[in-house]
Structure 1
């Protein structure tokens, strides 16, 4: 296998695709492509040299699960199923397709996903279907000048050009990550001045300050917001 493998992630949830793309950005060994519908996914498989397919359990236009449709068309293509469904609830044709399985709702879902992808594409690691992979942490610089790294999970994206409000983005990301009702949260301004933070992230000419990373604690979570718009939570 070449030093960089090409992976196609097909999912009908744009938020999941955004997070997987952000997560893959810190991994030099993976070229990450995305598609949001079966037709675009099959076209990408036909026009790119894809080493691995990552997909949810949705169905193609012919009514068959997209995963089995892709395996029929590209029988030698490794597939990692990335879904919120329990394994026992999967369509029998999906279970029998030989696809690897990673559950979205697990605490280390993206770590596990990338371990599976790397295992099925380079063939050097233990089979994820028979062995629990040790989590591979996606990392970002700690920003303290020590050169150390820590494990940070992307949970949201702030896009001011699309009219996003930073405070709303942060609160919504934490609500989704913790599964708690945002009405129970304390005021965000007790933890960070979101308006001042939004001004810090971008220069007066509108260009991003990509080197900026601001950390704070909110709802018992250690968070970071970066100049490129990522909302991260520090994983335990």
Structure 2
């Protein structure tokens, strides 16, 4: 992990990825590990409010909204947000966010999906309250390693007491790929979340694909964890 410890991606670099269309992290289908673990997150609840950090144009948002859940996402790139609504055939509005100067929120016409175009760290529970579910796919693994505790503190501040947080991580040899996505082993999760959250490994799978050879790696393990707040 030392090989990646000082790696820093600027917001501008993420914007450039969207502009160039080099968003290899985007999936055109619902994530298989979200599908297989959905009931662990929903836990028989109706109209769960889900938070999607660094949501991009994840089709998972529309899938959950169609089930009656409420979705709030944050994404820095306006292009990705507009592509989401256009590709999903959803009408939307754009509104300024007074609490975060220079920020806009894009809302579907039925108000089930809201995506804030802003720096994630400018978002807070003061904007949209707390959430009953979080789907973190491609977010923790994307942020700069030096920001992980800051990130975890934000995520926990957005969790209702009964929130169920599904977290997707990747493991590979960090000496072979500088990231992102970054290696996030369980020891890191315990360090940044362990004091306040129960951490349960719920699924492990081989995520290696032909395209990953370009990273210089020959194996890629995907692990999904369920995080819940410890009783106080």
Q: TM-score of the superposition, structure 2-length normalised? A: 0.30
Q: Which has the higher Rg, Structure 1 or Structure 2?
A: 1
Higher relative contact order (CA 8 A, sep 6+): 2
